[in-house]
Structure 1
Amino acid sequence: MAHKDRSTSLPLPDQPFSGPMSYDAKHMDTKLPPITAKRPPQGAPNVLVILLDDVGFGASSAFGGPVTMPTAERLAGEGLRYTRFHTTAICSPTRAALLSGRNHHQVGMGHITETATPSPGYRSTRPNSTTPLPEILRQNGYNTAQFGKCHEVPVWESGPTGPFDHWPAFSGFERFYGFIGGETNQWTPALVDGVTAVEAPDVDGYHLMPDLADKAIEYIRQQKSLTPDKPFFTYFAPGATHTPHHVPQEWIERWRGTFDQGWDQLREETFARQKELGVIAADCDLTERSEGIKAWADVDDDVKPILSRQMEVYAAFLEYADHHTGRVIDALEDLGILDDTLIYYIIGDNGASAEGGAEGTFMITTTANGGADLQTVEFWNEHLDQLGGPHAYNHYAFGWAHALCTPYQWTKQVASHYGGTRNGTIVHWPAKITAKGEVRHQWHHVIDVAPTILELADIAEPHTVNGVTQIPIQGVSMAYSFNDSDAEDRHVTQYFEMMGNRGIYHQGWSACTLHRSPFDLLATAHPFDADNWELYDTTKDWSQAHDLSKEMPEKLAELQQLWLIEAVRHNVLPMDDRGAERMNPVIAGRPTLVEGTSLRLYPGMTRLNENVALSVKNRSYSVTAEIDVPESGVDGAIVVQGGRTGGWGLVATEGRLAYHYNFCGLIATTVVADAALPTGTHQVRAEFAYDGGGIGRGGDVTLYVDGEPAGGGRVEKTHPMYFSFDEGMDLGLDSGMPVFEGYTTPKGAFTGTIAWGQVDLGDDDHSHLIDPEAHLAAAMLHQ
């Protein structure tokens, strides 16, 4: 499509008036051109891109899965199902690729932001030579907005002081409402409005999913009311269905008993439906159960009801997410713009997540922090009805994840196989797509979304932005396939890589190698050259079920060489499967926001996540505050860190100073002072003397008031890895879910006055004893 009169240089230069000018405006002989509002070319569509999180190809009913998704089915019935659409196998890279039209290593997002290194493909800082799609659209007259999950901000830039260059609000989105990290508590999310942290609305039964839908609807209505001739680009990425699997109880009850047949039979049932729908080839074979997953028949009978309930909760969460996504679609219809809006409904940013382990988890923090043994069958049965609610931070067992990637091998994190990278995608645009309810089998990748939108909006891909020459968009527009089901594929070559799991697709052939299983992240990584490569002819073998590597070594060698060429072209090298080196900012070579051994907090400093606060894990430390106690006494949080998933706090309870430690939401220890705090100004302190001799050990606690000992006690077990990827450190209140359940004020708001609080670290840090692979595995649970 020609781009008439569209500049390839952004921003578009202002054109000053150069003609003759009159002295008096009342006697103008020259007619000045009117001021005009910036608009894209006539006919540019509204665009809504919906991206769900951690949903496998075989989950949605729109693609044969067990989870009812009426909105997806509705859009598919009026539009197109793309059956061979691919992501990067993990969240930050997929999102960066989607919004840039370039491969994830090309934009510095070879992995999650928490593991950034100075290597060009892994910096997590998007180069200014790869301007993202929303900025291109904004500068061409679109209104732009994002609602939901980001996870593209470098961790050292994720604090309240910025810089904000890589935040949505400075990456082309005029409106952002959502969360910055890889996950958030759906009941008490770590919300950001623009670049400002905000608390969730204080309403009974609040949940993030309807809130995001509400905000998207409000935005679109306002945009169309005030500027109906101006198109919008709205990116709706709610973060569902990532951990935690939180959903209202009444939605869970709809699914009771649905998954008692287990994951093996679920795969068979899904596979049959997929063939009926035509979303897999008629001669497709169901792949074998991936290595490391138990057969359902081998699962202990007393565990099966627990595992089934985990899946019921997940199904409810996915159905709930689709329902509220449907409210956004309904709003477009009510405004009369549904048919004129190009909609991408991408059902997952990667395959289903295997991060819950073999038996799932009630609190996902237990997996990395050594508390899994506390989640006994008796514990599960006692707390089973809390799954999905605010007292759990739950994730299902990886057998369900594999079933939800039917018919493919493996899951999320595995970029080598389609279980990690193939996601059902729906395109809906009745105004220009004549086909209804059809299936498209053309091979595509998430980098193809941006060039498709630019083509359909008749906006040129910029050659230069702000004086910087741009790296060309690497995706291929999908528009050619909209009204031609038999069109020849145009995306014919695509590499994949994630932590050494790698593959290459080329003209129907697929070569791939599994370097590291997501089911065993603690396994010692072996040399890359020792990896075993597989070969598949996907023109005949839809699901990568029949390895031809032994029969066709020459073809395999050809594709291995092509993978290496693509890897060099796109900044994949050096491949990096290291653990400790990438998790330690000093060794990895990335900045940290807070340095040194002391952090002072002042009123208003709240929800400082663990990337922007000092780490007190595996060492001695003290926490001190200057407070003023009124005559009525005090209650509430003074300095706290973490939430229900784990953390600690210097608090006041029943008028007394106390130190509280919450281990993974499973063991709570409170050390309370011997006497009530007297009225007036005081300096209060808790000293935690770590036992040493390893990580995750206990320690002795001593409380002080004005320098005098005021009580003491003991904590037997502490977090070696992390408290939360969602909660943070607070002064004067306990934002999000509480660390301490004994507050008498909302959110633990301190009833006295706090001048300042301070955390000081001891010199006995034992973090160097953390196993490198365990540290990496902990981070991988939350991307």
Structure 2
Amino acid sequence: MTDNKSAQGADKLQRSSLPIPDLAYTGTVTYDATSPDTHYPPIAQVYAPEGAPNVLIILIDDCGFGATSAFGGPVHTPNFERVAALGVKYSRFHTTALCSPTRAALLSGRNHHTVGMGGITEIATSAPGYNSLRPNNCAPLAETLKLNGYSTAQFGKCHEVPVWESSAVGPFDHWPHPGGGFEYFYGFIGGETNQWYPAIYENTSPVEPWGTPEDGYHFMADMTDKAIDWTKQQKSLAPDKPFFTYFAPGATHAPHHVPEEWADKYKGKFDQGWDAVREQTFAAQKKLGVIPPDAVLTTRSPGIPSWDEMSDDIKPTLAREMEVYAGYLEYADHHVGLLLDALEEIGELDDTLVYLIIGDNGASAEGTMTGTTNEGFTINHMEDIETDEYKIAHTADLGTPKSYNHYAIGWAHAMDTPYQWTKQVASHWGGTRNGTIVAWPNGIKARGEVRDQFAHVIDVAPTVLQAAGIPEPHTVNGVTQRPYEGTPMNYSFDDAEAPEEHTTQYFEMLGNRAIFHLGWTAVAKHKDPWLASSHGLDDDVWELYNVEEDWTQSNDLAAEHPEKLAELQRLFLIQAARFNVLPMDTRSAERFNGELVGRPELVKGTSQTFYSGMKRMSENSVLNVKNKSFTVTANVTLPEGGGAGVIIAQGGAYGGWSVYLNEGKLTFAYNLGGVATEYTRSETTLSAGEHQLRVHFQYDGGGLGKGGSVTLYDGDVELGTGRVSRTLPFFFSMDETVDIGSDLASPVSSDYGPTGNEFTGKLAWVRLDLGDDDHSHLADPNHLMQIAMTRQ
């Protein structure tokens, strides 16, 4: 490997049109292969340009600028600092303020609206900037690298698959494998997953974790092991072929799941509260040089309570929320370190361009003012159950398999120190500025330095291509490509004083918007992260900041420089029109009606039939049984003794329902958010042979989340009756699924465990039929939007 800022690229291959065309043989063709005149050149494989580095992109989830010790935060991240010691920190690197958009921009080199990801996939519309469909004239970075001789793999989170394409039948054009250019994928599809009981895909097939939490299983460790194994195999079998690894853990997105000993490392470290932590972080950031000495700590964003406003009774619970989060982040750092150790072990670390992006947006303010032990409570409007007293009583559950937890909004604000606001707020740096570290020992001479040039997530792809000596392709798979919209960062690798080259950048998310241009920003916050849109876009108040003099956007100059503000507002509109931002969409309820907004829906009608072996079907893949009557019918053949095991289950230990046989008796269990499970059981044991078993749930009506009566049948024979006193009105689970013939991941019912619950009889089919008494239209549209944003 040569010591330079980009690969030599001295080969003669035409790399602008991909795949690289096969050239026909034009020499003499002989009659007999044994003739001395017979000659063909050896088969030529496609190799990356000489000196092209391996590429490792690490993207941490939901982590603010002020969280890690690498950027002055309270969480110990020695391996992030290890990467920084090998390269340079970028103190002005930016994301889009939200998950799916940042990831789509990162992997394409284009703005998020250009590739259809103006929001998360669950609220896609038919507008080009918001349809969640990356157009084929914006080929992903992985595809370009693969067609230039790289091995490619993705591990962890993928939240860019359109919801109507996220089932086991695809299509897979927008999955990491094969449509995203990755030859191998091991991870989960969607905004988050239970780290103890994850919903994992290997390529496009659902697979189960190797164990349970009791066995020591955690997804962060699992995906790291998979990444290490893949990398070692790749270098063993093709040592001359560089790799592109995209390592995107669910950490530190909620649920904040972590082994208890990691959280306990921070006992007592946050008892002083989020305001004091913010001040301590601010001082450390100045000392580190990731903010300038004259930077100003911005005031607490409106609507976020001070620590002193919180009840003394709940403060220990709030502190534990942050201890758990800190442990989770350090646990993620530890596994990043294991991956780096593996690269060092096989001699590849020095030849690897490492991008460590610490957050796909600012820290998440989606956990309520006092946090939550289970996001399902917030999603299902169950605040009457999850009172402060409930949270206090369940403090010990935080981070464990008994929780699905998130921290309080005040902690999110502290983790975004020194900036205003949080995730979702694209108008201010708290939502978009993420600490980023770039290292490449054999390609970057600088060590342990800070770079202040402005950069954006769309800059990563062109930077990688320039480092590899690969031209930006003008044609991929026969489609003329839209040029990259990012700016290569290579110019700044070894020159801290280089004039910044990315001089204009728009931001927009849910109506929150901004424009950066030549040292100024104009910003307009449209809505708070925890509230829905309440007014028109034209009623938003614009602010103006001179970012060369005011690093943290603390001094609004709009009144002093109205001409400059008007100039930047006009520039924002120009950029918005250019990059598919218009029309901006702040609607709530309408975006959940696929027919209204032009979004395909995978499942329609009132009846759906499942067959044995179908599993891991998300709530988008099955009929919605909430707030209405429904019937489950199963055609089964039972063995001698009556049989056992799950026929169909939806959800898991944090909410759901299950139909199963327990000691030969038909049983229906309804789990209300993990708080209580109600059972209806048959009075007699079923005999061996063929049966048509039926469970009818008759909804009480009168609103959302009401109860209902349950009747069990064997054919026309009534087996038992029961009641469900209350139901979940909006959501069963973030990631747990409908499974036929078993209950995967955490169990809905305590009658069986997370494994060994398979149905022991023969299952021909299961049918789900809906009643005509749907009350879902009574849902608050603002709450529906809150549900969607919590899921990303």
TM-score bracket, shorter-length normalisation: over 0.9
| One of 348, 359, 371 as aligned partner of 1:337 | 348
Task: Please give the per-residue CA displacement for 1:31-72, whole angstroms capped at 9, x wherever unaligned.
Answer: 311102210110100000000100000000000000000110
The 1:611/1:722 distance shift into structure 2, 3 A limit, reads same
8 Å contact from structure 1 (residues 292, 519) kept in 2: no
| One of 619, 628, 647 as aligned partner of 2:637 | 628
Correspondence for 2:362: 351
Displacement of 1:553: 1.1
The 1:3/1:221 distance shift into structure 2, 3 A limit, reads closer
Q: 1:267 and 1:12 mapped to 2: Cα distance?
A: 52
8 Å contact from structure 2 (residues 743, 754) kept in 1: no
Correspondence for 1:735: 744
Q: Which residue identity does 1:185 align to in structure 2?
A: N
Q: 1:124 and 1:218 mapped to 2: Cα distance?
A: 32
Where does 1:483-502 land on structure 2 (aligned, <5 Å)? 483-502=494-513
Consecutive unaligned residues of structure 2, counting only runs of 5 or more, are 1-5
Q: 2:750 and 2:188 mapped to 1: Cα distance?
A: 25
8 Å contact from structure 1 (residues 635, 745) kept in 2: no
8 Å contact from structure 1 (residues 500, 577) kept in 2: yes
Correspondence for 2:3: none
Q: Which residue identity does 1:141 align to in structure 2?
A: G
Moved more, 74-83 or 747-756: 747-756
Q: 1:442 and 1:168 mapped to 2: Cα distance?
A: 31
Correspondence for 1:112: 120
Q: Which residue identity does 1:304 align to in structure 2?
A: K
8 Å contact from structure 2 (residues 32, 38) kept in 1: no
Q: 2:200 and 2:762 mapped to 1: Cα distance?
A: 26
Task: Please give the per-residue CA displacement for 1:738-766, whole angstroms capped at 9, x wherever unaligned.
Answer: 11121168252223222211110111111
8 Å contact from structure 1 (residues 398, 519) kept in 2: no
Correspondence for 2:457: 446
| One of 76, 79, 97 as aligned partner of 1:71 | 79
SS at match of 2:384: helix
Q: Which residue identity does 2:135 align to in structure 1?
A: P
Moved more, 740-749 or 541-550: 740-749
Task: Please give the per-residue CA displacement for 1:15-35, whole angstroms capped at 9, x wherever unaligned.
Answer: 010111111111141431110
| One of 447, 450, 463 as aligned partner of 1:436 | 447
SS at match of 1:339: helix
8 Å contact from structure 2 (residues 63, 363) kept in 1: yes
| One of 591, 596, 599 as aligned partner of 2:605 | 596
Q: Which residue identity does 1:181 align to in structure 2?
A: G
Q: Which runs of 4+ in 1 moved over 4 A?
A: 1-4
Displacement of 1:655: 2.3
Displacement of 1:579: 1.1
**1:708 equivalent in alignment to 2:745:** no
Where does 1:291-310 land on structure 2 (aligned, <5 Å)? 291-310=302-321
Q: 1:123 and 1:520 mapped to 2: Cα distance?
A: 23
Where does 1:7-26 land on structure 2 (aligned, <5 Å)? 7-26=15-34
Q: 2:269 and 2:740 mapped to 1: Cα distance?
A: 45
| One of 153, 156, 171 as aligned partner of 1:148 | 156
Task: Please give the per-residue CA displacement for 1:310-369, whole angstroms capped at 9, x wherever unaligned.
Answer: 111000000000101110000111111111110001001000011111111111011020
Q: 1:213 and 1:770 mapped to 2: Cα distance?
A: 41
Task: Please give the per-residue CA displacement for 1:243-299, whole angstroms capped at 9, x wherever unaligned.
Answer: 111011111111111110000000000000000000011111001111111110111
Q: 2:152 and 2:27 mapped to 1: Cα distance?
A: 35
Moved more, 658-667 or 192-201: 658-667
**1:685 equivalent in alignment to 2:681:** no
Correspondence for 2:384: 373
8 Å contact from structure 1 (residues 689, 701) kept in 2: yes
**1:541 equivalent in alignment to 2:550:** yes
Moved more, 627-636 or 239-248: 627-636
Q: Which residue identity does 2:257 align to in structure 1?
A: H
**1:62 equivalent in alignment to 2:70:** yes
Moved more, 663-672 or 402-411: 663-672
Displacement of 1:94: 0.3
Between the two proteins, the alignment pairs up a number of residues equal to: 781
8 Å contact from structure 2 (residues 641, 687) kept in 1: no
Q: TM-score of the superposition, structure 1-length normalised? A: 0.98
Q: 1:9 and 1:94 mapped to 2: Cα distance?
A: 27
| One of 582, 585, 592 as aligned partner of 2:591 | 582
Q: Which residue identity does 2:476 align to in structure 1?
A: V
Correspondence for 1:615: 624
8 Å contact from structure 1 (residues 94, 349) kept in 2: yes
8 Å contact from structure 2 (residues 530, 786) kept in 1: no
**1:133 equivalent in alignment to 2:144:** no
Q: 2:642 and 2:268 mapped to 1: Cα distance?
A: 51
Correspondence for 2:334: 323
Correspondence for 2:678: 669
Task: Please give the per-residue CA displacement for 1:462-492, whole angstroms capped at 9, x wherever unaligned.
Answer: 1111221111000000000000000000000
Q: Which residue identity does 2:27 align to in structure 1?
A: G
Q: 2:368 and 2:754 mapped to 1: Cα distance?
A: 37
Correspondence for 1:257: 268
Displacement of 1:633: 3.0
8 Å contact from structure 2 (residues 747, 754) kept in 1: no
Where does 1:159-558 land on structure 2 (aligned, <5 Å)? 159-170=167-178, 171-202=180-211, 204-521=215-532, 524-558=533-567
Q: TM-score of the superposition, structure 2-length normalised? A: 0.97
Displacement of 1:635: 2.7
Q: 1:770 and 1:578 mapped to 2: Cα distance?
A: 15
Displacement of 1:717: 1.5
| One of 767, 772, 777 as aligned partner of 2:781 | 772
Two-structure CA RMSD over aligned residues (Å): 1.2
Q: 2:34 and 2:127 mapped to 1: Cα distance?
A: 63
Q: Which residue identity does 1:31 align to in structure 2?
A: H
8 Å contact from structure 1 (residues 738, 747) kept in 2: no
**1:650 equivalent in alignment to 2:654:** no
SS at match of 2:57: strand
Displacement of 1:664: 1.4
8 Å contact from structure 1 (residues 243, 782) kept in 2: no
SS at match of 1:675: coil
Q: 1:377 and 1:126 mapped to 2: Cα distance?
A: 43
Q: 2:407 and 2:315 mapped to 1: Cα distance?
A: 12
| One of 660, 676, 679 as aligned partner of 2:669 | 660
SS at match of 2:496: coil
Q: 1:28 and 1:653 mapped to 2: Cα distance?
A: 78
Q: Which residue identity does 2:466 align to in structure 1?
A: E
